[in-house]
Chains A and B, each alone.
Chain A
Amino acid sequence: MPITTEPTGRQRTPQRLGDRVFSGASTGAGVLILAVLAGVAAFLLVEAWPAVTAPAEDMPGGEGVALYVWPLLFGTLLSALLALAIAAPLSVAIALFITQYAHRRVATTLGYVIDLLAAVPSIIFGLWGVSQLAPLTVDPTGWLAENLGFIPLFAGPASSTGRTMLTVALVLAIMILPINTAVVREAFRQTPRLHEEASWALGATRSEMIRMSVLPFGRSAIIGGSMLGLGRALGETMAVAMVLSTSGGVTFNLISNGNPSTIAANIALQFPESTGIKVNALIASGLVLFAVTLAVNMTARAVINRRREFSGAN
């Protein structure tokens, strides 16, 4: 990655001290970030390596590092994707309400409230999830197990504490709602007036105008915002660690006590009591999470950036 360019063609330009200090400082800051990222990656690789090469029976579970990490990765993906499935439609609806339907004062207030959600520490969500939300889900999940138990997601037996994958997904959905909504709302707000008027002038109602002009314009922002939210849900630690009751099995059953943990929550819960090769195993799982989150976030950025090409100017 070219961070500094050789000033070949600009040798003659007189260099002022202030300029040199300033460009040096900002280049340094840029390099620092890359160095930190590279350092983290290197640490993960080096520390994860012993877990990969260690004999299978030394791993927790005794079946090698891949089978150790797999249920955790499964739990991570399941909870995050489920949270996304709840949050994405909700954030589109909220963004539409704020940008298209609400009175300006209501819209501004609601916008602030949503942004405030982003500022709530995740431990608070964890506390709320385990002490308020989880008990509330007990009755509905019991009903689901009884009446919709033929769907594998609701196979049951329903947890009596409510500390289920479903509760975790709900908490995560609320946590990623702000970032999802913010990205989508900004895109909707920037819908070119020209395109909105094109719909209006054809005699579109507001909902038809939204379908013809606003949603197509915001489509990549919806995808990009969702993936940013997904990235956050994947890495969320405290809320999951506090809410989820785990037993390690890979299952799509969302409402029982026997859930796979997630990578981040598992590290937080296991790390204080781990020594030796078990630490390396945890770090190996962390490396997997690092790679997945990085990939999701990079894809999200790429999708959001692509939107600039199809601006209203054409």
Chain B
Amino acid sequence: MATRIQVSGLDIHYDRFLAVQDVSMDIEPRQVTALIGPSGCGKSTLLRSLNRMHELVPGARVSGKVVLDGQDLYGPDVDPVRVRRHVGMVFQRPNPFPTMSVYDNVAAGLRLNHRRMPRSEMDGRVERSLRAANLWTEVRDRLHRPGSGLSGGQQQRLCIARAIAVEPDVLLMDEPCSALDPISTQAIEDLILDLKSSYTIVIVTHNMQQAQRVSDTTGFFNLRAAGEPGVLVEMADTTTLFTRPAKQATEDYVSGRFG
């Protein structure tokens, strides 16, 4: 299920503005890859280009390649809707569908993909996803209550359950803990470590400690200069990047000298 992602020579534009320039990176399967860097350096934009979510912004376009499992996501006859069914995403703020129950939230993606799934199989998939998201024991008695009635941390795990219910190849997480308290954050981080045995996970985070706790590989993004596009400064295994970075800018950032 987990898949390698190869990004090469990726430029991301918003109209004429070049947001991210010439990024090449390999994202390994069954690992957690963290993207860190100061605000506005293009790390979220890059993450969103991995499931073609960024192009929902009018004027956004991409050149370069993102190859997933041998297929270029930006190939001429690739349907972005299909891409997103293989590359799941979890957002900064928990966003369960407010009018849907816990159960329906998890089933939402399944219903898009398999319209005629039998009830018993659907029940099984929902339970498995909620268990995988470490949420089952907390919600088993309230599956048919609104998902928006859960706490923030539970809502975020519900969103993770919703994303993995469709069994994607890759799970993208855009600052998944930035709206959560420390206890909920820890629950999500534990969950990320559990999930990496089955998924390729890419996480954008502002929190350098978090990157060190959860990731195997870290990429550091920075603006080339004020008003210039964001670039991938350095990518290495997490320990190396935080202890013996190759570039001065990386060292300045991870040691807290700026950012």
Contacts and interface: CB of A to CB of B under 8 A. Distances in A.
A203 to B, nearest CB: 3
B88 to A, nearest CB: 7
4 closest Cβ contacts across the A-B interface? A203-B85, A201-B89, A202-B109, A216-B99
Interface in B97-152: 97-100, 108-109, 112-113, 148
Interface stretch (B67-75, B158-166, B238-246, B251-259): B158-166
Interface residues of B, number: 29
B37 interface: no
Interface string A201-243: 1111100100011001101000000000000000000000000
A216 B84 contact: no
Contacts of A216: 97-100
B82 interface: yes
Given A194-B91, A314-B148, A201 B163 contact: yes
B51 interface: yes
Contacts of B113: 203
Nearest to B152: A314
A69 B166 CA distance: 60
Nearest to A205: B81
A198 interface: yes
A2 B58 CA distance: 50
Contacts of B99: 216-217, 219, 310
B93 interface: yes
A162 B85 CA distance: 54
A104 B57 CA distance: 13
Given A194-B93, A198-B159, A203 B82 contact: yes
B53 interface: yes
A30 interface: no
A169 to B, nearest CB: 32
A63 interface: no
B97 A203 contact: no
A197 B53 contact: yes
Contact of A201 (B53, B82, B98): B53
Interface of A: 104, 192, 194-195, 197-205, 208, 212-213, 216-217, 219, 310, 312, 314
B183 to A, nearest CB: 20
A252 B159 CA distance: 51
B112 A202 contact: yes
Interface string B202-230: 00000000000000000000000000000
A199 B58 CA distance: 18
Nearest to B148: A314
A197 B95 contact: yes
B98 A212 contact: no
Interface string B76-98: 00000111111011010101111
A202 B53 contact: no
A201 B82 CA distance: 10
Contacts of B108: 199, 202, 212
A201 B166 contact: no
Contacts of B51: 201
A205 B111 CA distance: 13
